[in-house]
Amino acid sequence: MKPQQTPAQLSAEEIVFIRSRVIFEDACVIAFDKPAGLSSQGGRIAAHTLDDLLWAFARPGHARPRLIHRLDRDTSGVILTAKTKPAAATLGKALVAHRFRKTYLAALAAPPDPKGGVIDVALRRHSIGRDVNMKVCEPDHPDAEPAVTRYRTLAANDTAALVELSPQTGRMHQLRAHLASIGRPILGDVRYGGALMLDGEPVPRLMLHAARLGFPHPVGGAKTYVEAPLPSDIAGILTLAGLAAPAPSLS
């Protein structure tokens, strides 16, 4: 996408905020721990997006860093940007070639059955007005997009479950739609049928967190990993459910 030519007018508080979300930076890339509620790009809310806030890192006369991928507005965690056009091009090609390794954590009302495996189910976009959802479909449907998700249950009891998710493809709402398709929607997922209460307490938002990202560095190609700590709202739900939060797998 062509960079915005007119810099966003950011407040001092916004600049401090976005700089506080940096979890990795070098000469080529910046990785952020995006909080839930912040849109990656575009969006309908009259507020600055992450893409707008990246102007805080622009040098005079230069474009802001470029987003390499997106996270849903209510998903927290690692998101990667490139500081230079060559880095953006290299990372974009690596993303298309499936050389990124993404690991998510999600809280569910119960563990999947089986507790680990692969969801290989095609998805298609379904629009109602301005809203777009992903629907399960047959692989030969004319609008089908192949989608594959690896998963495993890290902890579970009678109240909730914590699962680790590794998308092998990058479809919109893939993890949310896939888990809903096996009867285990993510807690707080209004769009895909997730429970909004847990043990009598409200679930504050979509309980999905991009915990870890692995990518080939744009200079030299060395595998680089960035992690974002589990946010307090998901940790609080796990505590409420009596579950610990193991670290995500490195595989």
List residues with catalytic annotation: 72
DSSP letter assigned to residue 204? -
Query: Of 125, 134, 251, 114, nearest to 184 (Cα)?
Result: 114
What distances in angstroms separate CA 227 from CA 19, 60, 184, 213, one per listed residue? 17, 30, 25, 7
Task: Compute the radius of gyration of the chain from its Cα atoms.
Answer: 18
Q: What is the distance between the alpha carbons of residues 76 and 34, in angstroms, rounded to a whole number? A: 5
Q: SS3 of 238, please?
A: helix
